[in-house]
């Protein structure tokens, strides 16, 4: 919410704030798998290693 234009937060517009935390290791692993599903990639990609290397990624 701190990066949104205050005009968006006026009544009748975006009146609910939902905060999301950073994804955990399993979630980051799944994110990599989902986003590479349609890519022509090597079969032996170590998705968990990639996820471990990106601890604060969203």
| Res 57: pLDDT | 86
| Res 50: pLDDT | 96
Residue 17 confidence (pLDDT) above 80: no
> Would you say residue 41 lies in a domain?
yes
| Res 20: pLDDT | 85
DSSP string, 1-58: -TTS-GGGGSTTSS----------HHHHHHHHHHHHTTS---TT--HHHHHHT-TT--
Q: Chain-wide mean pLDDT for the chain?
A: 88
> Would you say residue 11 lies in a domain?
no
Q: Summarize pLDDT for 21-40 with one digit per residue, the tens.
A: 999 999 999 999 999 999 99
This prediction has a pTM of: 0.69
Number of domains in the chain: 1
Domain enclosing residue 34, as ranges: 21-57
> Would you say residue 36 lies in a domain?
yes
């Amino acid at each position: 919410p701190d990066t949104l234009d205050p005009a968006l937060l006026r009544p009748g517009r975006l009146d609910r704030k939902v905060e999301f935390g950073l994804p955990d290791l399993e979630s980051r692993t799944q994110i990599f798998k989902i986003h590479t599903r349609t890519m022509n990639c090597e079969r032996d990609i170590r998705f968990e290693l990639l996820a471990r290397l990106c601890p604060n990624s969203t």
